[in-house]
């Protein structure tokens, strides 16, 4: 007997992707566009003009009640209680061993919070949140698959999106990075957030699934004269790697702590208690954990996830993410999990590719930083 | 999509053009389109003897590594040097400037194991289902 293949879900924008000629692949339980015109073209559109992404596969949880900040602070590494209204903040959930359960974004709205989790972790996170909530003053609701999320990213994103924003979001162009407003976009109720995952300026727009396709088409139409193009998960992965941002399953996982994954800045050890704190304190004290570093290869042969990494002739680690990097001189870059002794910038490395060792070296993250 | 006439095809999506005892080999337009942006091509060295349907190199796209199989046996007599600096030539012109390598063919009888343009069309039409 063969296992029944898992039925893939579709976002509210599925028909739009098909109409645009997207190549669809399974991702996080959804059928998602990995590319439209081509990953390199889409990457360049985002860096030079703007790209529009469907992120509706990501899990959206709504948290309501007086106790949300306190409760969330007991489960996460970064501070939630200090968030101002309409602020957004990156955060991580750990397991008791300090490994990462998920990396997420919190958005604080007027009377509720949005928690956006990775699609691949949606079921796991929903179970985790429910299992850890016995408080009457915290109510949880999953909007996964109903609510849509559209991102417009790139230097032209503000010019494209801001004029369509209304209500409390009407001054979207003045929104600070990692802040949001609750208003409308082209007449559709929306949370407009100055957030993203590409290393570019831009917006993420939370709208109801029923309105998503109309808004998507409108944004493409308005954005046409600015060179806006639909961009898929392939371009998104390349953009986030260049920008030094971790991707769950690669730089972070149940075995890799936020410290190992390079997210120490988002671990607040001065919080009284949170899941995984003791384990992270022990890791910090011992300071002997393997950690993520950036590397660049000499030559034109790309690295891939899982390739062995050598330092001083010894096998010391493995490649976690890798790509060609148009915003880093078209060189082959990546991240590797390495011992503390091999992460200093300039450390010579060798990466084994089909049996041959290729020269690489440790470089600082991020690979790409936009000019502000 | 109709394939160019005068070429032979393998099930692994390589094409072969025969000119006397010289065979020119590339990957098909269907293959380059499926792979997406090609960023690296690893080819056999000139002078190497390669055997029909054996793995002789790789094509790497942004997302994946794919093995290359030779549609015919022979001695490699030339590789497309232009691919070293511009592997996307394969994307832009898979049947022309994006050719991969040339071999001195030993046994033309191996042709019988390859597909005609219409047979290859049927193969990729089936793959689309």
A156 and A237 both lie in a single domain: yes
Q: Cα separation of A153 and A140, whole Å?
A: 30
* Residue B113 at interface with chain A, using a CB cutoff of 8 Å: no
- Measured CA to CA in angstroms, residue A175 lies from A68, A91, A152, A183, A212 at distances of 24, 21, 15, 13, 22
Q: What is the CATH number of the domain that holds A92?
A: 3.30.70.1400
In a domain, A64, yes or no: yes
Nearest CA in chain A to B84: A300
Instruction: For residues A227 and A352, state if they share a domain.
Output: no
Task: Judge: B65–A304 Cβ closer than 8 Å, yes or no.
Answer: yes
Only one residue has tokens 């994103």, namely A157
| pLDDT computed for residue A1 by the predictor | 40
Q: Residue B128 has what pLDDT?
A: 76
Per-residue pLDDT tens digits for A159-207? 999 999 999 999 999 999 999 999 999 999 999 999 999 999 999 999 9
Mean pLDDT of A318-333: 98
Indicate the domain borders of chain B. 16-108
Place of tokens 């993250």: A365
Whether A5 is in a domain gets the answer no
Q: Which residues of B touch A39 (CB under 8 A)?
A: 36-37, 62-63
Residue A4: per-residue pLDDT: 46
A160 and A42 share one domain? yes
CB-CB under 8 Å, B58 with A354: yes
- Give strand ranges (E) for A236-290: none
- Within this chain, do residues A328 and A341 fall inside the same structural domain, yes or no? yes
Quick one: pLDDT band at residue A372, thresholds 50, 70, 90?
confident
Using an 8 Å CB-CB cutoff, list chain B residues near A40. 37, 62
pLDDT in tens, B86-101: 999 999 999 999 999 9
Q: Which CATH code fits B16-108?
A: 2.40.50.100
Please indicate, yes or no, whether residues A78 and A205 belong to a single structural domain of this protein. no
Query: Is A194 found in the same domain as A126?
Result: no
Residues A284 and A136 in one domain: yes
- Regarding whether A333 and A224 lie in a shared domain, the answer is no
Residues A342 and A358 in one domain: yes
Residue of B35, B39, B61 to mutate when probing chain A, most A C-beta within 10 A: B39
CB-based contact A234 B60, cutoff 8 Å: no
Predicted confidence (pLDDT) per residue in A1-36, tens digit:
444 456 899 999 999 999 999 999 999 999 999 999
**Residue A371 confidence (pLDDT):** 84
Chain segment B40-84, per-residue pLDDT in tens: 999 999 999 999 999 999 999 999 999 999 999 999 999 999 999
Biggest CA–CA distance in chain B, Å, is: 40
Question: What is the predicted pLDDT for the residue at B2?
Answer: 76
ipTM of the complex: 0.91
Residue of chain B whose Cα is closest to the Cα of A34: B63
**Residues of chain B found within 8 Å of residue A38, distances taken between Cβ atoms:** 36-37
Domain extent at residue A66 = 58-142+257-288
Chain B residues whose beta carbon lies within 8 Å of the beta carbon of residue A323: 62
pTM: 0.95
pLDDT of residue A5: 57
Mean pLDDT of chain A: 96
pLDDT at residue number A3? 47
Q: Do B63 and A354 touch (CB under 8 A)?
A: no
- pLDDT tens-digit map of A332-364: 999 999 999 999 999 999 999 999 999 999 999
Q: Is residue A247 part of a domain?
A: no
User: Is residue A7 situated within a structural domain?
Assistant: no
Same domain, residue pair A277 and A296: no
* A314: Cβ contacts below 8 Å, ≥ 6 apart: none
Task: Report how many domains make up chain A.
Answer: 3
Q: Answer whether A292's CB lies under 8 Å from A261's CB.
A: yes
The pLDDT value given to residue A7: 87
* Among the partner residues B36, B39, B60, nearest to A35 by beta-carbon distance: B36
- Kindly tell me if the per-residue pLDDT of A324 is higher than 60: yes
The 10s digit of each residue's pLDDT in A69-88 is 999 999 999 999 999 999 99
Nearest CA in chain A to B87: A300
Instruction: List the CATH number of the domain containing A305.
Output: 2.40.30.110
Distance CA A81, CA A273 (A): 13
Q: How many beta carbons lie within 10 A of that of residue A111, not counting itself?
A: 8
Q: Two tokens at A7?
A: 């039925």
Q: Is B40 on the interface with A (CB under 8 A)?
A: yes
CATH number for the domain harbouring residue A149: 3.30.1360.120
- Do the Cβ atoms of A248 and A120 come closer than 8 Å? yes
Q: Are residues A109 and A165 in the same domain?
A: no
The verdict on A190 and A277 lying in the same domain is no
């Amino acid at each position: 007997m063969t296992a029944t293949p898992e039925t893939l879900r579709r976002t509210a924008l599925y028909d739009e992707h098909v109409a645009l000629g997207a190549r669809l692949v399974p991702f996080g339980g959804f059928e998602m566009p990995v590319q439209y015109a081509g990953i390199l073209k889409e990457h360049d559109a985002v860096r030079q003009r703007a790209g529009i992404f469907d992120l509706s596969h990501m899990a959206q949880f709504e948290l309501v009640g007086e106790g949300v900040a306190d409760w969330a602070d007991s489960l996460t590494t970064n501070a939630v209680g200090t968030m101002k209204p309409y602020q957004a903040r990156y955060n991580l959930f750990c397991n008791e061993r300090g490994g990462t359960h998920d990396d997420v974004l919190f958005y604080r709205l007027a009377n509720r919070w949005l928690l956006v989790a990775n699609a691949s972790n949606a079921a796991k996170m929903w179970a985790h949140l429910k299992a850890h909530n016995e408080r009457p003053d915290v109510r949880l609701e999953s909007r996964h698959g109903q609510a849509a999320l559209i991102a417009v990213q790139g230097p032209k994103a503000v010019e494209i999106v801001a004029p369509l924003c209304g209500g409390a979001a009407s001054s979207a162009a003045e929104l600070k990075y990692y802040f949001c407003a609750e208003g409308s976009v082209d007449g559709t109720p929306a949370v407009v957030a100055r957030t993203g995952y590409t290393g570019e300026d831009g917006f993420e727009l939370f709208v109801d699934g029923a309105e998503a396709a109309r808004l998507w088409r409108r944004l493409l139409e308005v954005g046409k004269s600015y060179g806006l193009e639909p961009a898929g998960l392939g371009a998104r992965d390349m953009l986030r790697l260049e920008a030094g941002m971790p991707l769950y399953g690669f730089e972070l996982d149940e075995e890799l702590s936020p410290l190992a994954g390079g997210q120490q800045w988002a671990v607040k050890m001065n919080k009284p208690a949170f899941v995984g704190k003791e384990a992270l304190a022990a890791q910090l004290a011992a300071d002997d954990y393997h950690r993520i570093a950036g590397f660049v290869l000499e030559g034109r042969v790309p690295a891939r996830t899982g390739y062995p990494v050598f330092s001083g002739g010894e096998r010391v680690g493995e490649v976690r993410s890798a790509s060609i990097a148009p915003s880093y001189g078209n060189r082959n870059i990546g991240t590797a999990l390495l011992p503390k002794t091999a992460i200093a910038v300039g450390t010579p490395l060798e990466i084994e590719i089909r049996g041959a060792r290729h020269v690489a070296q440790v470089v600082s993250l991020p690979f790409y930083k936009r000019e502000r | 999509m109709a394939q160019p006439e005068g070429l032979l095809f393998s099930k692994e999506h390589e094409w072969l053009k025969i000119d006397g005892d010289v065979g020119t080999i590339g990957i098909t337009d269907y293959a380059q389109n499926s792979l997406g942006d090609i960023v690296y091509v690893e080819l056999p060295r000139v002078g190497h003897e390669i055997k029909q349907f054996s793995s002789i190199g790789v094509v790497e796209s942004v997302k994946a590594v794919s093995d290359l199989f030779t549609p015919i046996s022979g001695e490699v007599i030339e590789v497309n040097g232009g691919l070293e600096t511009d592997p996307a030539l394969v994307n832009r012109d898979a049947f022309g400037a994006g050719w991969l390598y040339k071999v001195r063919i030993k046994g033309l009888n191996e042709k019988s194991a390859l597909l005609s343009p219409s047979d290859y069309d049927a193969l990729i039409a089936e793959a689309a289902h």
